[in-house]
Structure 1
């Protein structure tokens, strides 16, 4: 078999019902190229390999799991990328879909990597620590709404699909999990530039208890800061408001 490595944030899915729900959610959208992130013991992989007419690849950092997967599912031998997901180049040319039971210790970084590939990611169905899944999907005004929420929602429609119990894993994690789906937004809000938008959002939430005026003072001219919008706190602004505000930056 294989061993579990806490250092890699490994908690392997053992609940077949949850596996089938994830596959079902994935198949609601057509795709021809599919990347699985962190196949681990193959809980999802065994279903994904059965999908017909799909160019399938899996990225797995753990050498032991790579060996286990190729021994258990010989057909996967030339489909595995033995690297960290955070380090790989784009695995396909053109549009592709991503699926995975993502390692908890890099889950936020995974979402930012997907943002880097946003022009080619046509869908993502993934399981995250529930807190991260909720942050990605949170609307403005929600207590967990923050940098991750705004940046992801600027480019993707985020749907929280379902909770996953700790008992669905081996070993059971200390936290609940949640599955979300990302689909590219049809109308990405106009912004001064992605660089300006990212800087504004990160600066605004860096001191989220302060009014926007105090949190982002260095990014705007004094006259602009007189606008009443700056009386609000970052968590009160929606994605469109942040995008619009980016045009007024120095």
Structure 2
């Protein structure tokens, strides 16, 4: 086996070449190859983040894996990387054989939506496949750890949007239920190979408890999802028309009991605490199934 360069010195183009692969847009495979962006990503983790076990989703040829290994070395930590491509998973095990042997790196082969994630993850830094960004993000957010994630820029801006803005929606409320969400860097198309059709952005999610209470997290998120399917309707009509989505047997009871100041507004103008108030009322009088 060819001797690998030491951790922290692996050029992304050289890694892709050694892996013998080319990104395939048809499979949502765009390799991040800009050294400057790769170098910055681990640094977006909040100061004081526990680096004992960092998770990476979508390792590819390993340029970010290499930088994460260098970063966690300061804390005597370790990295777990999930890679669904069997060829790339095998390449990562070979390229980082020394780190695998010492237990500093674990490579999980499989789909990030299906594999069993470690239960002791302390942070995640990942360049996510855009076709399943939402599903993976909402698998990571409940882990209650700092996240630095690469998304399609439009998705990132919606995730971090404030109420009453064009980008604000279900994604903004549900992501904000788990964390403070911030877009920390736009990333041009040219940072990837092959070049994607869209621009990207890096999002930092810092876990925190929301400034409101809900009776049941799953129901709250389902209720928010339901009413945003009719975001152009008043909340009165949105609640009435989406009982089949929120699983409310009696949405009319919710409308009859809710404050008129909330019912006359549209979903895109309500603050998360307003949704929490309505969801709590729905849980109490709407007969959720």
The interval holding the TM-score normalised by the smaller chain is over 0.9
Q: Structure 1 residue 186: deviation in Å?
A: 3.8
Count residues with an aligned counterpart. 246
Aligned residue in 2 for 1:37:
57
After superposition, where does 1:53-132 map in structure 2 within 5 Å?
53-77=76-100, 79-93=106-120, 96-115=122-141, 118=142, 120-132=143-155
Please list the CA deviations of residues 154-184 of structure 1 after superposition, one character each: whole Å capped at 9, or x if unmatched: 1111011010000011011111000011111
Q: Structure 1 residue 187: deviation in Å?
A: 4.0
Q: Aligned-pair RMSD on alpha carbons?
A: 1.7
Q: For 1:75 and 1:149, how far apart are their aligned partners in 2? A: 41
Q: Which has the higher contact order (CA 8 A, sep 6+)?
A: 1
Q: For 1:231 and 1:106, how far apart are their aligned partners in 2? A: 35
Q: Structure 1 residue 90: deviation in Å?
A: 2.9
Q: Structure 1 residue 226: deviation in Å?
A: 6.1
Q: For 2:46 and 2:218, how far apart are their aligned partners in 1? A: 34
Aligned residue in 2 for 1:20:
39
Which of 195, 205, 209 aligns to 2:232? It is: 209
Question: Are the counterparts in 2 of residues 36 and 98 from structure 1 also a CA contact under 8 Å?
Answer: yes
Unaligned runs of 5+ in 1: none
Q: TM-score, normalised by structure 2?
A: 0.80
Q: Secondary structure at the match of 2:39?
A: helix
Please list the CA deviations of residues 133-165 of structure 1 after superposition, one character each: whole Å capped at 9, or x if unmatched: 111100111112111110110111101101000
Q: For 2:259 and 2:125, how far apart are their aligned partners in 1? A: 45
User: Residues 214 and 27 (structure 1 numbering): CA distance in 2 closer, same or farther, change over 3 Å?
Assistant: closer
Unaligned runs of 5+ in 2: 1-19, 244-250
